[in-house]
Amino acid sequence: MPELNGQEAATVERCADAPMLDQVTAWAAVNSGSRNLAGLADVAGLLADAFAALPGEVLLAEAAPVEAMAADGSLCQVAHGRNLHLRVRPEAQVQMLLTGHMDTVFGPDHDFQKVFWREEGVLGGPGVADMKSGLAVMLAALRAVEGAGVPQLGYEVVINSDEEVGSPGSAALLAAAARGKKAALTYEPSALPDGTLAGARPGSGNFSIRISGRSAHAGRNPEDGRNAVLAAAELALRLAEARQDGLSVNPAKIDGGGPNNVVPDHAVLRVNLRPRTLELQAKAQALFDEAVAAVAARHDVTIHVHGGFARAPKPIDPRAGKLFALVKRAGADLGQGISWRDSGGVCDGNNIAACGVPVVDTMGARGGAIHSSEEFLIVESLVERAQLSALTILRLANGEDL
């Protein structure tokens, strides 16, 4: 490692001693699906014990209240798990944010529950890549940096319980933690198994649309009815026609209807929109509003929209570009080739970038097939990525400019 000074070399060497594999195995063995509050509480306890090795007080913060639309169109409160929050040296000159999530997409009733070896050096299991390994990498890097003695560095850690469902209960905590930070690192797995990072990301808007019509007999007086399912279908088609370069639209589900001889008076349409830029987001919102108004008028129905654009587009602006370049140089000095490419996915990196903080959001381990029962972790990447993070954090602490 000819490009590393003595402090840097000692710091990255400490990463090799971290018990990351044991941590991943233990944390992934506990189901922590986004809606499994008991499992999330168990994992939060395990994480709190592990992160207590860092200075500062580990807190488990309650999620903010969240309202969602049920299949019948009613609005109800949805509970989310507590979020781990740690602040270290808030008075220090250089402040960073490090984030991750403890939840997975696999609920307790999913078939994919066990941690096992797929082959030598490749671990399978729910969340081993996304992102129990990322949490272990983050902790190993921070412990290694703490061993270097860096009083000029302060940081906050947020590990939320609801990232896989859009972070509705933790968005405010993330925004508050991002305030005033020089840079942020988020520990989603690499975009590709070779370690490629995710670059620019689109924004994301999730909408639940309640359509209220009027029931009538389908044979005797259908003209007196106002068909909510038909209105929902037309709205889905209108929104789908708004697709264009840089804007994806996915009508995902329609709930509603009933017996064949009744004109349905109720439907709920779920739609996701992903714009690449803020300009396209504004255009998408205008097209959305126009389609809703047109369908309501054409079908003489009442439409109520719940939701919105919770995650703004994340471009690579000049400061983010400098942070990516810093990570790339750190990788080169460690013998790791680092590149990045744009992604169609979204994550908490979107939320952080929207606060004006440069962020690299795929600092986690190498792996793949996430969100499927084929998910895997390349175990040798645990040390690699912990060293990459530790060196990046140390150089930011020691004055690397963005």
pLDDT at 312 over 80: yes
Q: Which residue has the tokens 């602006």?
A: 317
- In the structure, what pLDDT confidence band is assigned to residue 88 with cuts at 50, 70 and 90? very high
164 CB-side CA count, 13 A: 21
Whole-number Å distance between alpha carbons of 274 and 281 = 8
Whole-number Å distance between alpha carbons of 255 and 321 = 43
Whole-number Å distance between alpha carbons of 339 and 359 = 15
- pLDDT tens digits along 343-364: 999 999 999 999 999 999 999 9
SS3 state at 310:
strand
Whole-number Å distance between alpha carbons of 378 and 129 = 8
Nearest to 395 by CA among 336, 331, 335: 331
How much of the chain exceeds pLDDT 90, in percent? 99
Region 179-201: mean pLDDT is 97
- pLDDT tens digits along 223-242: 999 999 999 999 999 999 99
User: What is the per-residue DSSP string for 330-362?
Assistant: HHHHTT----EE--S---HHHHHHTTT--EE-B
SS3 state at 47:
helix
Q: What fold, for 6-201+314-397?
A: Aminopeptidase (3.40.630)
Q: Which helix (H) or strand (E) holds 48?
A: helix 37-51
- pLDDT tens digits along 97-145: 999 999 999 999 999 999 999 999 999 999 999 999 999 999 999 999 9
Q: What fold, for 204-311?
A: Alpha-Beta Plaits (3.30.70)
Please give the sequence-ordered ranges of beta strands (E in DSSP) within 125-260, or none if there are none.
153-160, 183-186, 197-198, 204-212, 247-256
Boundaries of every domain in the chain: 6-201+314-397, 204-311
Cis ω for the linkage preceding 131 (within 30 of 0): yes
| pTM summary value | 0.96
Whole-number Å distance between alpha carbons of 340 and 363 = 11
Region 211-225: mean pLDDT is 98
- pLDDT tens digits along 21-42: 999 999 999 999 999 999 999 9
| Residue 23 confidence (pLDDT) | 98
- In the structure, what pLDDT confidence band is assigned to residue 3 with cuts at 50, 70 and 90? confident
pLDDT at 1 over 60: no
Region 372-397: mean pLDDT is 98
Number of H helices, E strands in the chain: 10, 18
| Residue 2 confidence (pLDDT) | 55
How high is the mean pLDDT of the chain? 97
